[in-house]
Amino acid sequence: MDHTKNFSDQEEDYYIQAGKMARKIRKIFENKVKEGIKVLELCEAIENEIEELGGKPAFPCNIGINDVAAHYTATPEDSTVIPPGALVKVDYGVHLEGYIVDTAFSVALSNTDKKIVEEVNRALEEVVKGIRVGDKISRVGEIVDNVAREADFIVISNLHGHEIKRFNLHSGLSIPNVPNKINARFANGMVVAIEPFFTYSFGKGYVEEIQTTLIFKLSSLNRAPKEIKDYFSSLPFCERWIRKKKLDPSIVKKIPLVKYNVLVEAGGAPVAQRETTLMFSDDKVIDLVA
């Protein structure tokens, strides 16, 4: 999409409706993240609710517990439960005809983590209030880092926001949460996910991969079997979804895939996240999940 152009009425409507669904999901599930809940049940409940509202999940629901920052979704037989006092991230996406809204929230089950959740929420709020069409991408990192420093937290430096295009969750621009010298600017016709991640000063402030892969994406639509391509297109998927579609689970070993390894805070510190999707249209910044 040309960044100097605005959206068609149809495109804008898809984004607005997907955003309303994402907001409703958050309101339903913020109070359902509790000690003892199975991660499998939570993932499937959120994905099923998206479909009941008339949308489709844009990627498998991610549940990150404590130092797990991203890319953890339940396996088909996952017995993991949310432990007492956990800091839990819930990251999910809704799409309508490939128009994606990406969002996340954190829940602190211990008073110890309530402040970090409040401050990562405030960082996102400050970004939404503080950027305009024409601003440099680097403005986001300045705002997020300032909030973290004021509150004595650390920004996870290697997890970024990202541009979104139709059927393409991570496209084009990367949007760092730390100070940078990127000169690209926000422009009409852009949709971006803004997602600050905070951790504690005893952490290392960056994430690293572990050798667990639960989420995949087709690396080439041309080389993918039709049944996989028809169901998932270019969006991420997981083993649970393969089984739900009654496909052969071993297919993930037979076709070229992009693999998303689970990401954890390198020092083992808990991580908090908040995310929304912004649409830049007619010189306005629209928070689609507000």
Domain assignment present for residue 91? The answer is yes
In a domain, 238, yes or no: no
Q: Which residues pair with 191 in a beta bridge?
A: 279
Q: Report, as an integer, the average pLDDT of 184-198.
A: 97
Domain count, the chain: 1
Q: Considering the domain boundaries, does residue 15 fall inside one?
A: yes
Q: Is a pLDDT exceeding 50 seen at residue 1?
A: no
Domain membership flag for residue 226 = no
Point out the residues that are catalytic.
91, 102, 162, 170, 195, 275
Identify the sign of the CA torsion 11, 26, 174, 177. Answer: positive
Q: Please state whether the predicted TM-score (pTM) of the whole model is above 0.75.
A: yes
Domain assignment of residue 221, yes or no: no
What average pLDDT is seen over the chain? 95
**Is residue 252 in a domain?**
no
For residue 289, being part of any structural domain is answered with no
pLDDT at 4: 55
Q: Give the pLDDT score at 226.
A: 86
Q: How far is 160 from 41, CA to CA, in rounded Å? A: 28
pLDDT band at 222 (very low <50, low <70, confident <90, very high): confident
In a domain, 237, yes or no: no
> φ and ψ at 162, to 5 degrees?
-160, 155
Range of the domain at 103: 9-209+263-281
The CATH number of the domain holding residue 152 is 3.90.230.10
Crossing angle of helices 39-52/9-29, nearest 10°? 140
What local confidence, expressed as pLDDT, does residue 3 receive? Answer: 47
